[in-house]
Structure 1
Amino acid sequence: MDIQAVDRVGMILALFGPHRESVTSTEAADLIGLNRTTTYRYLNSLVNANVLTLREDRTYVPGPTLVQVGTYAVGRRDVLKVAAEPMQALARETEITAVLSLWGAASPVVAHVEEPPRLEVVVSVRVGMQLSPVAAQTGIFHGFMAGAPSVVRAAREMDDADRERLQSSAHATVRQGYAAQVSSRGIAVLAVPVWDTHGLAASLALLTTRDVLDVETDGPELAALSRTAETISRMLGSTRPAMTG
């Protein structure tokens, strides 16, 4: 298999996620920009290799080999092994949902969530959710992993408005050491980097409403979030200090 074929297979596999669980050959061709005959050949080769499965309705979904590899890869991520307990403590201390995200094919993907106990109403996200190009946690990766090929490619594929907005927020994130955002729906997010011995490992965030979390001030929530990120980073072998303020 030559380099172009590997690239095309990667583009096909990147189509799948919480935002798109299945795809037809026509949809795949349109999304990745290949002609339909070529795309059909790739899809069926992946079916023959058990990487994809062709359902009765003629849609393609992740197959057993892809599920096995994906499960193994996630299970091997050290950050997921060590983050749960510190995140539980963070959610209890702040009474706010804690969210850990890893970089996916083109944007961060929610990998672990800890909700505050004993609260009747919480703001949360589901594990596996692909975050938007302009989310606060996306800015963490575009700020601190700006030179990574997948990050560069993701930025290049955005529309001009999203790219300019993200680059501006990413620069601010690197300067201050954290990302802060309030959405049009009133959802407030604070996010900080988590490091391992190789560099950026994940982003850790607090997620709630703007009535609960004031992202405009360096309050106790940001301090608790930064301490937790630094704790997880140390557990992963990093000696890099948290950067806030």
Structure 2
Amino acid sequence: MDIQAVDRVGMILALFGPHREAVTSSEAADLIGLNRTTTYRYLTSLVNANVLALRDDRTYAPGPTLVQLGAFALGRRDILRLAVEPMQTLARDTEITAVLSLWGASSPVVAHVEEPPRREIVVSVRVGMQLSTAAAQTGVFHTFMSDAPSVARAARQLPTEERERIGRLVRETAERGYAAQVSTRGIAVLATPVWDEHGLAASLALLSTRDVLDVHAESSELAALRNAATTISRSLGAPE
């Protein structure tokens, strides 16, 4: 496979994200700027290799090989091994779901979840979920990792309204040092950065309903979240 072919495959795979779970052949061609015949050939080859999957509605979505590779890559990250115990402690002590996210190709991806063991009803998310631009953890990455090429590119590619929303979230997060959010549906999130020796490594969050999770600066939940993030950061070699 020549360099041009590799670039084109990369462009096709980069189409998938929180705002686009599947594409048609014609949509893919328009989005990456190739003619439809060439795009169809690439899509067909990727389906044959199990990198993409062709759905019954004739749209293309990430296939088993791509999902397997993504799971393997996430599983190899030291942070997932080092974060488990502090996240279990955080979820147990606060009785709130703890969520760790890593930056993917163009948005944060949920990498690990710890649910509170004693609470019968919990709010949770699935591992592998790509977070939207409205998510508090997305704001953490756009605030503290804005100079990373993939983050800057993701911001540039957003529609104007979403880019403005990210801008407001970034300003709030930079001022507070953490992200706080309560949705119209009553879902509350607190998110804070996790660091390693190179910079931002992940975002750690607490997720529940607004009746359970206090998102104010003086809350005990925020203090516990920050303590857990500090513990993980130190284990990753972040400067004191």
TM-score by length of 1: 0.86
- The residue that corresponds to 1:35 in the other structure is 35
Instruction: Give the whole-Å Cα distance in 1 for the aligned partners of 2:125 and 2:48.
Output: 35
| Pairing of 1:145-160 with structure 2 (within 5 A) | 145-160=145-160
- The residue that corresponds to 1:14 in the other structure is 14
Q: Aligned-pair distance for 1:48?
A: 5.2
Instruction: Give the whole-Å Cα distance in 1 for the aligned partners of 2:138 and 2:19.
Output: 16
Aligned length: 239
Instruction: Give the whole-Å Cα distance in 1 for the aligned partners of 2:167 and 2:57.
Output: 41
Instruction: Give the whole-Å Cα distance in 2 for the aligned partners of 1:68 and 1:112.
Output: 16
Partner deviation per Cα, 1:32-88 (whole Å, 9 max, x = no partner): 454321211222343455533557875545455434432321121111111111111
Q: Aligned-pair distance for 1:155?
A: 0.8
Instruction: Give the whole-Å Cα distance in 2 for the aligned partners of 1:143 and 1:90.
Output: 24
Check whether the contact 1:18–1:128 (CA below 8 A) recurs between aligned residues.
no
Pairwise CA RMSD:
2.4
Instruction: Give the whole-Å Cα distance in 1 for the aligned partners of 2:234 and 2:11.
Output: 35
Between 227-236 and 211-220, report the one with greater CA deviation. Answer: 211-220
Check whether the contact 1:189–1:208 (CA below 8 A) recurs between aligned residues.
yes
Check whether the contact 1:182–1:189 (CA below 8 A) recurs between aligned residues.
yes
Check whether the contact 1:47–1:53 (CA below 8 A) recurs between aligned residues.
yes
- The residue that corresponds to 1:177 in the other structure is 177
Q: Secondary structure at the match of 1:87?
A: helix
Instruction: Give the whole-Å Cα distance in 2 for the aligned partners of 1:56 and 1:136.
Output: 34
Gaps of 5+ in 2: none
1:46–1:224 distance in 2 versus 1, CA, 3 Å: same
Partner deviation per Cα, 1:78-106 (whole Å, 9 max, x = no partner): 11111111111001111111011111111
Q: Secondary structure at the match of 2:44?
A: helix
- The residue that corresponds to 1:207 in the other structure is 207
Instruction: Give the whole-Å Cα distance in 2 for the aligned partners of 1:18 and 1:137.
Output: 13
TM-score by length of 2: 0.88
Percent identity reads 74
Q: Aligned-pair distance for 1:199?
A: 1.4
Partner deviation per Cα, 1:180-231 (whole Å, 9 max, x = no partner): 1111111111100011122111100001111122213321111100000010
Instruction: Give the whole-Å Cα distance in 1 for the aligned partners of 2:142 and 2:119.
Output: 33
Q: Aligned-pair distance for 1:28?
A: 2.7
Instruction: Give the whole-Å Cα distance in 1 for the aligned partners of 2:51 and 2:217.
Output: 48
Partner deviation per Cα, 1:107-134 (whole Å, 9 max, x = no partner): 1111111111121211111111111112
Between 113-122 and 6-15, report the one with greater CA deviation. Answer: 6-15
- The residue that corresponds to 2:116 in the other structure is 116
